Structure formats: structure tokens, C-alpha cells
Amino acid sequence: MQTQRVDTLIIGGGISGLSAARRLNEVDRDFLLVTDRLGGRMFHNDDASMNFGVTYINDDYKYVTPFIGKGQPFHLSEVFAGNKQQIVPFLHPSNIKYAFPAFRLYFMLQRLRKELRAFRKESEHIPQHLLIENYPYMRSLARTNALDFVNAHNLQGLNEHYFRYAFGATCFADVKEASALFYLGVLFPLIVKTHMADLSGTYEKLTSGISNRIHYGKVVAVTRRGDTRFRVKIAGQQDWLAKHVIFSAPYHNTGKIYPVPASAHMKPATVMYVRGRKKPPYADKHFILLDPATSSVSLIWSQHGDKDLLLCLQPEPDLDPFYSEYKVLQKVDWKTAVVLSNEEWLPMNFEPNLYLAGDQNICGLEDSFLSGRCAANQIIENG
């Protein structure tokens, strides 16, 4: 089969790869995006009434909002946290006892929010692992274990009864596995308006103007050819020779294609939609966080159309404690749902002309989008 040439080959058609492609397209650079599936972790059903990956966005997501709409809003008044013994509302008079640490937490969240906004603006041009050195609060949070942070700031009560549940439902991990940066990130709905991500029309918007440069296929290997080119092998198709390669596939996939720098901590998850009759303590509750230490389901969130979104820590969760009868409408298992970065963030341009884009340092749509845009800007700026 004949080999073709391209200036930049992007591997992966999730938000980071598509954002890199859109940026290269803006300046008329030659590129090809190869993906085995469009959308990646934005996967949803045809009418976008069921999201199986990304769940929510907040009002601080500025870069992705031209492509992703605001769906059903999230209200703190609807949040309950439950274990086998009891289900308690988050906004309850008895929680006044947490007022002082909560007050301090509010200011820490605001401080992080301010830094993160500025960080995001710059991260379009400067890779995240370099940029974080200029943001002392973010850097110290990224290098502090979340549990140490909880203890240092007297957040044990709130953590025990609510926040570790929210962390399980968002990062699919135990608090001690992550940094304080991720922990505070999970708590942003306390201070920033948050909505379900509405992905209707998202793929069309993200691919508009570039669909003829998207090629469907699975990349199986990338090898260096001399000093200036990479050979990109696609299963059952012709090889491509590229000057620059952007890896925008999830980390576990990228590692199979090319030896990338040391692995971050990848967390699997299962997402399902269920229609059924909830048992009495759960029946009239809209948003129920469950104890990740004892339950394989970490969130039950009632959706429009009489169905529930369930985020689960195990592929075959036990639903009997919650439903008297139910039907699973659809289910997706993710090998990598989120990546919990180590203390040392991964470089973007890890070898000459090779770029890592995606959520290996900061998870979520907005920062993945920005990392793709940054990888493209590096190529544009470096010629």
C-alpha cells in the first residue's frame, strides 16, 4: 500500500484532538485527524438524552461552550448523601456545625477559581506542566495529597459525610489517591453554577469545516523515520508519514502506540441509564451520592424522561439495594474515565515534534480542549 505524507497527524477524535484540528485549520496548516471513533468520552446516544461520558459543565467553561450546551441545572438543594444507615441532605440546619471550615473552604475555592481562570487563558499557548510553575496556589495544591489537605483544613466532617462521596462520583477514586487540586476541582459546584452537558449538535459543531480531514481508523504504531518524519501505521490501511504527531488518545491507548512518559493514575468507571422504581429511602430524591466505600454505585441522578443516570465504580453494580424493579437502558464501561495526575505533570512536547494532548494533567473537557489547542499552537509557533 502506498504511503502518504502530511505535516501533522492527530491521533484521536475526542475534544482534545478536535480542538487541535480546529486550531490548525484556522491557520490553514496541513493536517489529518485519525480516530477509531468520533467524540471519545463525549459519547452519547443519538438524541443526546443520555451522556455516557462527560456529565456536567460549569459556567467557568468558556472555551467549550460554543460547542457544548447547558442542560439540566444542578441544585445543591437537591443533593443527598447516603449510606446503608441514613440519607442526609447536604443543605440541612444540622450542618451549621461545619460553618467555620466551610467558610474557609469557600475562600480557598474562590482563590483557586481565580488562578484557574488565568491559567486557562495562558494554557492556550503554554503547556500545562510549564505553566503551573507560575501559579503557586495551583502548584501547591497539585503537590498536596487530598487527604492531607482535608486534615490540615479541618474538613474531616464534611469530607466524611459528603465530599468523599462527591469525589467518588466524579473521579471514581478514593480521596487519598488524588491531589488537593482534584479535590477542590470536584467541589466547584459549591461556588460555580453547574449543568448537565448538553451534547446535542456538539459533534457537528466541532467537525464543521474539518470533516474532510477526519479519517476513521485505528492507529497501531508510530515509529521514527530519520530525524524529520514519523511513520504512522493504521490497521488495514496505508501508512502515513508525518512531520508532527499529536497524541490525543486516552493515555492507556497512547502507551500501546508509542513509548510515552511515565504513566499517570487511570481510573475506570461504568455509566448506565436505568428506568425503574426506587425503594423508599431513595424514591423521592433527585441527586443521591452514595458511600464509595460500601456501594458499587456512587451516584443516582434523576433525569428528564423518567430515567436515572448511574455512575458506578464497578462494571456490574448491585442495584437491588436501590430499586425494587428496574431495567438497564444502556451501559458503557470506560477503561480510563479520568486520569489522576501525579505530582509531576507530564510534558506536552515530550520529544521533538511529538505532542501529548488530553487530560493527562488536568481532567475535564475545558482543559482537554485547551491542551489540544496548545499542542497545535506549539506546532504553529515552532514552524
Ligand X SMILES: Cc1cc2nc3c(=O)[nH]c(=O)nc-3n(C[C@H](O)[C@H](O)[C@H](O)COP(=O)(O)OP(=O)(O)OC[C@H]3O[C@@H](n4cnc5c(N)ncnc54)[C@H](O)[C@@H]3O)c2cc1C
Amino acid, res. 191: I
CA-CA-CA-CA dihedral for 333, 337, 342, 346, to nearest 10: 120
Q: Please report whether residue 16 would count as binding ligand X according to CB under 6 A.
A: yes
259 or 280, CB closer to ligand X?
A: 259
Contact criterion met (CB below 8 Å) for 146 and 180: yes
Q: How far is the CB of 22 from ligand X (least distance, A)?
A: 12
The CA-atom distances, in angstroms, between 269 and each of 41, 100, 209 are 12, 34, 33
214 or 380, CB closer to ligand X?
A: 214
Element (H, E) at 23: helix 15-26
Q: How far is the CB of 69 from ligand X (least distance, A)?
A: 14
Q: Which stretch binds ligand X (CB under 6 A): 1-9, 99-107, 223-231, 363-371?
A: 363-371
Q: Which stretch binds ligand X (CB under 6 A): 54-62, 70-78, 156-164, 272-280?
A: 54-62
Considering only 141, 181, 249, 370, the residue that binds ligand X (CB under 6 A) is 249
Contact criterion met (CB below 8 Å) for 268 and 333: yes
- Residues 257-296, one symbol each (x = binds ligand X by CB under 6 A, - = not), give x-----------x-x-------------------------
Q: How far is the CB of 12 from ligand X (least distance, A)?
A: 3
Contact criterion met (CB below 8 Å) for 74 and 287: yes
Considering only 50, 53, 182, 310, the residue that binds ligand X (CB under 6 A) is 53
b/e per residue 295-334 (b: at least 16 CB within 10 A): bbbbbbbbbeeebbbbbbbeeebebebbbeebeeeebbeb
Contact criterion met (CB below 8 Å) for 124 and 377: yes
Contact criterion met (CB below 8 Å) for 334 and 309: no
Q: Which stretch binds ligand X (CB under 6 A): 116-124, 185-193, 248-256, 285-293?
A: 248-256
Q: Please report whether residue 218 would count as binding ligand X according to CB under 6 A.
A: yes
Q: How far is the CB of 270 from ligand X (least distance, A)?
A: 8
153 or 205, CB closer to ligand X?
A: 205
Q: Please report whether residue 362 would count as binding ligand X according to CB under 6 A.
A: no
Considering only 90, 334, 345, 355, the residue that binds ligand X (CB under 6 A) is 334
12 or 82, CB closer to ligand X?
A: 12
**How many other CB atoms are found less than 10 A from the CB of residue 66?**
10
Q: Please report whether residue 54 would count as binding ligand X according to CB under 6 A.
A: yes
Considering only 14, 82, 127, 292, the residue that binds ligand X (CB under 6 A) is 14
Helix (H, G, I), strand (E, B), or coil: what is residue 262?
coil
Q: Please report whether residue 338 would count as binding ligand X according to CB under 6 A.
A: yes
Q: Please report whether residue 33 would count as binding ligand X according to CB under 6 A.
A: no
- The span from the CA of 36 to the CA of 156, in Å, is 44
In sequence order, what are the residues at sequence separation of 6 or more whose Cβ sits closer than 8 angstroms to the Cβ of residue 86? Answer: none
Q: Which stretch binds ligand X (CB under 6 A): 40-48, 82-90, 94-102, 174-182?
A: 40-48
Helix (H, G, I), strand (E, B), or coil: what is residue 179?
strand
88 or 260, CB closer to ligand X?
A: 260
Contact criterion met (CB below 8 Å) for 303 and 309: yes
Q: Are strands 265-278 and 4-13 parallel, antiparallel or unpaired?
A: unpaired
Amino acid, res. 231: R
Q: Please report whether residue 68 would count as binding ligand X according to CB under 6 A.
A: no
* Site of interaction with ligand X (CB under 6 A): 11-17, 34-37, 40-42, 53-56, 218-219, 248-250, 253, 257, 269, 271, 334, 337-338, 358-359, 363-365, 368
